Amino acid sequence: MSLPTSLAAVIVTYNRLDKLKRVIDALKKQTQLPDQVFVIDNASTDDTGAWLQELQNQDQRFQHVRLRENSGGAGGFYEGARVAYEAGHDYIWFSDDDAYPEPEAIAQLQHSLQDFETRFHHRPAFACSAVKWTNGDLCEMNTPTTVWDWPRFYSPETPYFLVSACSFVSVLVPRWVIQEHGFPIKDYFIWYDDAEYTQRIAKTYPGIYCPNSEVVHDVPENKGVNYALINDKNIWKFRYGARNETSFRRREQGWYGVAVFVRGVHNQMRAGNVDPALRREVYKAIWQGCSFAPAIERPDPDSSV
Could you read off the pLDDT of 31-63 as tens digits, one per residue?
999 999 999 999 999 999 999 999 999 999 999
**pLDDT-based confidence at 300, cuts 50/70/90?**
confident
86 and 190 co-located in one domain? yes
Looking at every residue in the chain, the average pLDDT score rounds to: 96
CA distances from 78 to 12, 54, 117, 154, 213 (A): 10, 24, 26, 32, 24
Helix, strand or coil, per DSSP, at residue 253: helix
| Position 43 in a domain | yes
| Position 130 in a domain | yes
69 and 190 co-located in one domain? yes
Helix ranges (H only) for 72-192 are: 72-86, 105-120, 175-181
Q: Are 9 and 107 in contact (CB under 8 A)?
A: no
**pLDDT-based confidence at 1, cuts 50/70/90?**
very low
| Position 301 in a domain | no
Q: Is the pTM of this model over 0.75?
A: yes
User: Any idea what DSSP says for residue 188?
Assistant: G
35 and 156 co-located in one domain? yes
Least confident range from 3-12, 92-101, 152-161, 176-185: namely: 3-12
Question: Which residue segment(s) compose the domain that 255 sits in?
Answer: 227-289
For residue 301, the model assigns a pLDDT of 74
69 and 139 co-located in one domain? yes
Give 49's contacts (C-beta < 8 A, 6+ positions apart): 41, 64, 66
Using CA atoms, how far apart are residues 197 and 194, in angstroms rounded to an integer?
5
54 and 121 co-located in one domain? yes
For residue 303, the model assigns a pLDDT of 54
For residue 302, the model assigns a pLDDT of 57
Residue 263 CB-density burial (10 A; 0-12 exposed, 13-18 middle, 19+ buried)? exposed
Residue 104 CB-density burial (10 A; 0-12 exposed, 13-18 middle, 19+ buried)? middle
| Position 297 in a domain | no
Total number of domains constituting the chain: 2
Using CA atoms, how far apart are residues 297 and 305, in angstroms rounded to an integer?
18
271 and 158 co-located in one domain? no
Give 258's contacts (C-beta < 8 A, 6+ positions apart): 246, 249, 250, 286, 290
| Position 305 in a domain | no
213 and 107 co-located in one domain? yes
182 and 33 co-located in one domain? yes
| Position 299 in a domain | no
How many contiguous H segments (helices) and E segments (strands) does the chain have?
8, 10
From the list 130, 176, 137, 188, the residue with the least C-alpha distance to 12 is 188
163 and 94 co-located in one domain? yes
| Position 302 in a domain | no
Residue-wise pLDDT for 69-126, tens only, equals: 999 999 999 999 999 999 999 999 999 999 999 999 999 999 999 999 999 999 999 9
User: Which one-letter amino acid corresponds to residue 235?
Assistant: I
126 and 272 co-located in one domain? no
Sign of the dihedral defined by the CA atoms of residues 9, 10, 15, 16, in that order = negative
Using CA atoms, how far apart are residues 241 and 152, in angstroms rounded to an integer?
32
